[in-house]
Amino acid sequence: MGVDLFAGLGAAALPPLDRAPRILVFDSGLGGLTVFSELAKALPSASFVYAADDAAFPYGALDDQRLVDRVVAVMERLVAREAPDLVVVACNTASTLALPSLRARFQLTFVGTVPAVKPAVAASTSGLVSVLATPGTVRREHTRAMVDAFAKGAEVTLVGSPKLAGYAEGELRGEPASDADIAAEIAPCFVEREGRRTDAVALACTHFPLLTKRFAAVAPWPVAWIDPAPAIARRVLALVGSLSPKQGEPARALFTSGDARPSGLSTALRLRGIGCVGNEVFPLS
């Protein structure tokens, strides 16, 4: 899908670098791995750090101001420690609430994650589109503004799932949810209206593409599952500009909690090219 989710958002392009760019990918948990995978394909020579604020997962459980304060505090530590050239906030909830504060606080280029309403509408032929998100993203005014801006006559159903992000985390840790549990969470996405059916679902949480195969297996009929990660990767590539011929450092993962990493998670991270799995912790205290 070639639709630009970020047209007009105005993030600053990086100045020319004589080395591989350092890119920080940030999320509350493991959902941002879907974005990291696309970034790593688009910028194979970049140095990546994947940072998960798993001590505060899920962000949807925090009130708005507490969430903003948390994200800014964690980013203070990360920026001081890692000195990134560009930060990708691979979380819809954090992007819709904290990006203005992050851009005001740091002289850095930030790329956020927005609900993929525009490409979902573009992919639909029936005019029935659903946006599958966390309850927090569904209730944000930003999400509803995007629907108003990009629906173009389509009927857009907003579906807030309180459980899918946790199911996605469990999937990566080797503790998958049942088909019945997943089917129950996505069921409201499927709307029938006068002989028409929902045919495109925007995945408005970066955790959800981790479950796309599971969704397809239990869906009542086929739909296009719209993942924003490829568009984010295109946006970052445009901001970085020409690729450096110099190879960056191997990708690393950081976590805010000191919880033990199950073997299934370590394997999942290694398969995505992330080394130093589960060994680096950066608590706020």
Q: Does domain 22-113+230-275 have CATH number 3.40.50.1860?
A: yes
pTM for this predicted structure: 0.87
pLDDT of residue 279: 44
Q: Say whether pLDDT at 226 is over 50.
A: yes
Cα 250 off chain centre by: 21
What integer best gives the mean pLDDT of the chain? 88
The pLDDT confidence band at residue 7, using thresholds 50, 70 and 90, is very low
Q: Any idea which residues carry the catalytic annotation?
A: 91, 205
| pLDDT over 90, % of the chain | 66
Ranges for all domains in the chain classified under CATH 3.40.50.1860: 22-113+230-275, 117-227
Q: Say whether pLDDT at 57 is over 90.
A: no
What is the tens place of the pLDDT at every residue in 134-147?
Answer: 998 898 888 889 99
What's the rounded Cα separation, in Å, for the pair 209 and 34? Answer: 7
Residue type, 93: T
Distances (CA, A) of 169 to 33, 176, 207, 278: 11, 9, 8, 15
pLDDT of residue 6: 42
Q: Say whether pLDDT at 203 is over 50.
A: yes
pLDDT of residue 244: 64
Choices 3.30.750.24, 3.40.50.1860, 3.30.70.260, 3.20.20.100: CATH for 117-227: 3.40.50.1860
pLDDT of residue 284: 52
pLDDT of residue 160: 95
**Could you tell me the two tokens for 148?**
């108003």
Average pLDDT for 187-200? 97
What is the tens place of the pLDDT at every residue in 96-141?
Answer: 889 999 999 999 999 999 889 999 999 999 999 999 999 988 988 8
Q: Say whether pLDDT at 162 is over 90.
A: yes
